[in-house]
Structure 1
Amino acid sequence: MSKFAELLNTQDILLGVEATNKPGLFELVGQHMEQTYQLPRSCVTTSLLRREQAGSTGIGEGVAVPHARLSELDSIHVLYLRPKEFIAFNTPDRKPVSDIIVLLVPAPASPLHLDLLAEIAHMFSDNKFREELDRCKNEQEIKNLFDCRS
């Protein structure tokens, strides 16, 4: 099993997300992290927005990987989100995104942070994988698909 799959919990797979823009998306991520892990919402939202202002985390082909370092974290958290409507993310190919991987890491970041970003980029560069992911209809199917990607 990949390190990404090991870190992704079914409760952190959010489908049909009601967000129409990046700030709204990051606010929802902050709400989820506060409700699920008691992490202050504002820390998550602000860190993701600050990182996005430094440069878009949209990688293209309908995928974005917003990520941030938070001193409040003790361990890495990953989330997979699928918005109800595509979101503009200033991607290199100018396509809106439908698959969003959020990576939250403790500050200072470890080399694992970069390894995870590389693993995610490699996984989502595979057209067949993205098609299989689009066919997944619920959280468990998505988790199973990520688990099988070793």
Structure 2
Amino acid sequence: MKVAEFIRPESVVVDLAAKSKSRVLQIMSAKASEALGIEERPVLQALVDREKLGSTGIGEGIAIPHTRVAGVVHPFGMLARLSKAIDFEAVDDIPVDIVFLLLIPGESRKDHLNALACVARQLRSHEVLKKIRSATSADELYAAVVLQADSPE
């Protein structure tokens, strides 16, 4: 599975302004719901419920909020670089400035794990993180995560 299979250029946000984890989840839920043509409330609730199990802040300023949602047909990703790092209750207590939202079809377990592993693998790359943090446009941000991901190793 490749990142390009579940994220599109229009699903990338540069300098998202939000002062809290809950606000980031609200904004990204609204954008994802609009892009997918589904109701926002179940998306936000599923993300909030997932965060109650433990923060999706994986460290090094990165969070990957993810959940299964009824009505989602294919894995859907959205990448946001925040305008200012926020507390996300990450495992290393470092404020988060990169958020990759991942929504998976409600009944799919295999897609969930494959997509999550794919995103985590990309965001572990210091080269990718450097490009994400230095991007000046949505196109550059998209290219940082997708083109790097799809190039041969």
Do both proteins adopt the same fold according to a TM-score greater than 0.5, normalized to the shorter chain? yes
Q: Distance in 2 between matches of 1:13 and 1:57?
A: 19
The worse-fitting range, judged by mean Cα deviation, of 55-64 and 25-34 is: 25-34
TM-score by length of 2: 0.90
What per-residue deviation string (whole Å, max 9, x for no partner) do you get for residues 46-73 of structure 1? Answer: 1100000011101000000000111121
Which secondary structure does the structure 1 equivalent of 2:93 belong to?
coil
Q: Which runs of 4+ in 1 moved over 3 A?
A: none
CA-atom RMSD in angstroms = 1.4
**Structure 1: runs of 5 or more not aligned:** none
TM-score by length of 1: 0.92
**Structure 2: runs of 5 or more not aligned:** none
Q: Distance in 1 between matches of 2:6 and 2:34?
A: 18
The worse-fitting range, judged by mean Cα deviation, of 105-114 and 29-38 is: 29-38
Q: AA paired with 1:100?
A: V
Residue 112 of structure 1 deviates from its aligned partner by 2.1
Tell me what 1:30 maps to: 29
Residue 36 of structure 1 deviates from its aligned partner by 2.5
Once the two structures are superposed, the pairs formed by residues 1-150 of structure 1 within 5 Å of their partners are 3-145=2-144, 146-150=146-150
CA contact (8 A) 2:70 2:106 kept: yes
CA contact (8 A) 2:80 2:100 kept: yes
Percent identity between the two aligned chains = 24
Count residues with an aligned counterpart.
Answer: 149
